[in-house]
Structure 1
Amino acid sequence: MAKRMVLLVGTNKGVFLYTSDAERKEWSLKGPYLPGWEAYSVLGDSRHGNRIFAGTSHAAYGATIRVSEDFGETWTQIEQGPSYSPESGFRLNRIWQLAQGHPSEPDTLFAGAEEAGLFVTRDRGATWRELDGLTKHPTRPGWYPGAGGMCLHTILIDLRNPKRMWVAMSAVGVFRTEDGGETWTPRNQGLARVPTGQPQEEVGYCVHKMVLDPFDPDTLYMQEHGGVFKSTDGGDSWFTIEDGVTLRENDAPFGFPISVAPNGDLFLVPLESSEQRAVAEGKLLVYGMHRGESRWSPIGDVMPDEPRHVSVLRDAMTVDAFDPYGLYFGTTSGEVYASLDRGRNWNRLPGQLSRILCVKPWLVED
């Protein structure tokens, strides 16, 4: 059975699809689909046919989830999608993340939203319900947004145990559940708390992105507003892993994305600073670290002959599941880059898109 690689790209002006064969040398581009809509999250789901889910938002029409069963040519809005009750006082501004459920739950999907909340469907996306154990958490009165809003942007599931999950929210922190999302506990010890006035010490941590180690579900990695962190006890405690990546003396490294490969390799794109929020000196450098190592190394300038004063957003960097794996990222200026050799050499994919919000790989079997 032939395999295709589809790279799903969400932008602030619609969804685009890059397609290639298993070699991933030549790419074709289609789109925009859903033009004019922000797409902060996209997901390719092949568990019941080939379906694309997109979390879309619009200044006039609000936040919705759309689904396509013909590779983006037509879309249907899910009528009973995520929503908050009127009495909650919360507003559904964006769908920041879409994630498949545990492999033992093929009909399950999760959606992370802004204002921070988690929703689940058990019927392949037809109907959704709020997991209000998180929304009604006792610390909720002390939750405050980061600069991009109070967004639930990361959803991770323990492959050994479908009841164990983690979510990350800006500028709230990490929460873990052991019962499938009914109850939640903050897991932020050791992180760099941000001064946003939260009265509860358990929350107030501006997590930018978090990933789970592919071999050990007790090991997690994080790019946070105050640095790069690792946990080896399921998030109970965190410590910094910043050697080699500090760009300015005495400053913690600042950036948004962090990605993990199937073999445990880690990647991030550091920025000049929280104030600048662009790559330093116009050099679009990706940093990498092999699993088990403790020091980051710059892999090389993606475009050494041209300055790039851009940023890479939290969900705009990803790794596919091929061997060798492909590493991809999109910039705020609408460029998409791909590497098949752990970032040593890069190809710019065709087209100039608008501001790239997310990049997600999807392996399709024909």
Structure 2
Amino acid sequence: MIRTKLWSVVVLLFAVTLMLSGCAGGSKLSLEPTFSLQQGQIYQLIPKTKEDNLSLKWSSSEPNVATVDFEGYVTAISDGETEISVWDTGSALFAKCTVTVTGSDLTIAVPASLTLALNGTTTSQLTPAVQPEQEGDFTFTTSDESIATVDETGLVTGLQTGSCIITTQWTDGTQTATAQTKINVVIEPESMELEDTPDELVVGETETVDLTFTPEDATIPAVEDISVSLDKPELAKAELKATDDGLQLAVTGQKEGSVTVTVTYKELKETFTIDVVATATTPTPAPTKAPTPVPVVETPAPAPEVTPVPEPVVEQTPVPEAPTEPPVTEAPTPEPVVEPTPEPVVESTPEPTPVPTPEPTSEVTPAPPEPTPAPPEQAPAPEPTPEEVPPAV
């Protein structure tokens, strides 16, 4: 029991130490301790931190003495003292410092800030007035000529997106007064969209919605310049945060019911309705439709290629020609011999050369040989004529 109380005291002392740390702030976020401004002056506070992706918000405890915008620019309004605080919306990091504003017998009335649009009005005329009114001369200077310029008449011209300070100074030769105007050069959004808005939100849970603008190079407005409202604030709460990627709307469910969220920036407006429920609704799964069987078309097997069998080449055996029959030589007719009567000479006829019979082949049957002609008959011996018969002795 004693140990529990001891721990409670330690925790309480630690919390008090953090609260009293002043400008030291959290362990990783700090501001310069104090500074002073004259009425009309503007000064930018830059927090020191090693953290990335912080979503910082600023506030002034006495905005009638000095105001602070979303970029940390402090504008002195009137005599007095105020505390400027900065904190990260996503963690416990914070810091604060004290600003003292001193008055002057002379003040210059100029706008605390001006916005110029590169896709709209790019110029604005400053018309300062010194109070109390008296004769004197005004001069104008810019802190960054690449963002906006100002001429000797106080005409301010925006050149590129960004912020700078225009300082207006008055003097009559013996007295001097100074005032400053913050110039914001932007590309005005032409449309606004809430992306992927949820239809349902469980009590106690938070859903985030990205807020985007067009054109793509449009300047993202400050969170303070955008209003978020709910028709039934008891059902949910909504908070707009600045991130490195843009603006993000966080909606947290508090009570069951249907609530409409409206986001407005100048003339642009977007709304969506969300149902806050006790538990998440489990969607009824759609019945799984049986897949339609796809008929299997059998691809016929390709017919085997028939290799043509070459027809056998039948070589014809040449039929030998029948030998030429030798010419038949006729026996010469002998001349009659008167004395003595010779015996008739009969010359023998040469026998014809036999024709060889060719051997038969398996493929072609040779034609039968021509019949061998019969040898010519022997001519009879001529009969002697009566005149040639010799007389008997």
TM (norm. structure 2) is 0.20
TM (norm. structure 1) is 0.21
- The structure with higher relative contact order (CA 8 Å, sep 6+) is 1
The structure carrying a bigger strand percent of its residues is 1
The structure with more radius of gyration: 2
